[in-house]
Structure 1
Amino acid sequence: MIVNERETQEGLLVAVCDEDVLGETFEEDDLSLTVTEEFYGGETVDENAVVESLARAAVANIVGTRAVELAVEEGFVDEANVLEVGQTLHAQLLRMS
């Protein structure tokens, strides 16, 4: 998976995607999701590193079947809040403090 971390005024923003979705566009009805190199491009890491990043995130955007499934399995995202966009999954995390 690919992780991109950046500090913002609101805290750590983490973008995670499966390697095979980077650069792809997915569409479902009126919804279009483009997984850009600019936003999602970053370091290729293992699942443990993804979990560590998500644990520190104030905000996270997660795209790709495996990345979203991992976020659900680890309790970061409720499965009911996962969107199916075309042939992939998308979820967002916002940690309120």
Structure 2
Amino acid sequence: MVCTERQTPEGLLVAVCDADVLGETFEAGAVSLTVTEEFYGSDPVEADVAADALARADVANVVGHRAVDLAVEVGIVDEANVLEVDETVHAQALWM
């Protein structure tokens, strides 16, 4: 997995994706999702590091089957809210 963290006016944004979807674009109807290194980062991390970052997030953006499964497993994302986009999955979470 790849994970990056950045402070925003809305709090800590954590972006996590599977390494194999980095650089890919997925489309389903009107939805287009491009997984860029600029947003998700490029340094591989272990699942426990990504889980820790997600637990601290105010805003989370997650792409890829492994990354989304991890977010569901640690309780960050409800499985019912996971979107299928072409051959991958995507989820977002926001705490207010």
Short-chain TM bin: over 0.9
In the alignment, which residue of structure 2 is the partner of 1:89?
A: 89
In structure 2, stretches of 5+ residues that fail to align are: none
4+ residue runs of structure 1 moved beyond 4 angstroms?
none
SS at match of 2:72: helix
In the alignment, which residue of structure 2 is the partner of 1:56?
A: 56
Q: CA RMSD in A?
A: 0.8
In the alignment, which residue of structure 2 is the partner of 1:10?
A: 10
In the alignment, which residue of structure 1 is the partner of 2:20?
A: 20
Query: Residues of 2 paired with 1:2 and 1:48: CA distance?
Result: 12
In the alignment, which residue of structure 2 is the partner of 1:75?
A: 75
SS at match of 2:90: strand
Query: Residues of 1 paired with 2:88 and 2:6: CA distance?
Result: 24
Q: TM-score, normalised on structure 1?
A: 0.95
Q: TM-score, normalised on structure 2?
A: 0.96
Identity of counterpart residues, as a percentage?
A: 67
Q: What's the CA shift string for 1:50-89, capped at 9, x where partnerless?
A: 1100011000100001000110111110001000000000
- Paired residues in the alignment total 96
In structure 1, stretches of 5+ residues that fail to align are: none
